[in-house]
Amino acid sequence: MLFGVYSAKVKKDVNSSFLVKTPIAHRGLWNEELPENSLGAFRNAAQHGFASELDVQLLADGEVAAFHDEDLQRLTGRVGSIKDLSTRDLKKYNLLDTGFTIPTLDEVVNTVQGKSPLLIEIKNNSTKDIGQLEAAVLWKMLEFEGEWAVQSFNPLVLKWFKDNAPDVLRGQLSGDFKYDDMHQAVKSLLSFMVFNPMTKPDFISYDARALGDNKLRKFAVGQMTKNKPLVKWGIHSKEDYLKSGKADNVIFDGFNIREV
């Protein structure tokens, strides 16, 4: 265990955590003026009493940025990949023609420090390069004054946290992967979360669209959550929220969940 000192400070109880008590704004509480994964969106979520979910990726200089896509085009209008940028480059990349630029994880932490919980999605699809991004995130969260947790689609990321920082709450992200470009066998393994006995997630974060599939709901989500909290994501409207069924919490975007 690399981070035993930190682990000793953490009292892990997912059932009394923000993961079941506080609605989670997907990439912050964004709108037309406040882009997703911007400091403005995270500040807005905190001001409305929500937790924030954010995506993190490793930069070329080993620092961590809050950014979802691998490609820069959709959010910045610029050609290139986030992994090729260094920290000093980020201020040159405005988000969706606003005054907000790509933030570092350090900047997000400083913005919501003591005001809002953070759910950090580790964007690491590798089967080999596990550890650098994960360790960087952990070190940066050591002095965070508030609740936080990690989640990932990649079971190997969860295994890294289980082995190295077991008292950090970790969640398995999943869904039916219907529109993902991967082999059907891999989709099935991930959809049914067959690696959970190895990674031992503390909570399950599942695509709300797939929760309408009775087979997945009963045999995947039902069997694998057991006493673990279920968080449903992909909630873009009141209709999404209502038709996706029961869950312990929700990750929402595009509207205010308290107005449902």
Domain edges within the chain? 16-255
Tokens for 111, please give them. Answer: 């913005």
What pTM was computed for the model? 0.94
- Report pLDDT digits (tens) over 163-186: 999 999 999 999 988 888 888 998
Determine the Cα–Cα distance for residues 260 and 168; give it in Å rounded to an integer: 32
Whether 55 and 66 have beta carbons less than 8 Å apart is answered as yes
Q: Give the span between the Cα atoms of 76 and 68, in whole angstroms.
A: 12
- Residue that wins the pLDDT comparison between 30 and 4: 30
The answer, yes or no, to whether residue 128 has pLDDT greater than 90, is no
CA 244 from centre of chain: 20
Here the tokens at position 146 are 């508030």
CB atoms inside a 10 Å sphere around CB 233: 27
pLDDT of residue 245: 82
Superfamily name and number for 16-255: Phosphatidylinositol (PI) phosphodiesterase (3.20.20.190)
> How would you classify the pairing of strands 64-66 and 51-58?
antiparallel
Q: What is the pLDDT of residue 127?
A: 83
How crowded is residue 33: how many other Cβ atoms within 10 Å of its Cβ?
13
Strand-pair category, 51-58 with 24-26: parallel
CB 3 within 8 A of CB 138: yes
**pLDDT classification of 11: cutoffs 50, 70, 90:** low
Render pLDDT for 85-122 as a digit per residue (tens, 0 to 9): 999 999 999 999 999 999 999 999 999 999 999 999 99
The mean per-residue pLDDT over the stretch 215-241 comes to: 83
Asked if residues 231 and 204 have their Cβ atoms less than 8 Å apart, the reply is yes
Q: What is the pLDDT of residue 8?
A: 44
pLDDT over 90 at 51, yes or no: yes
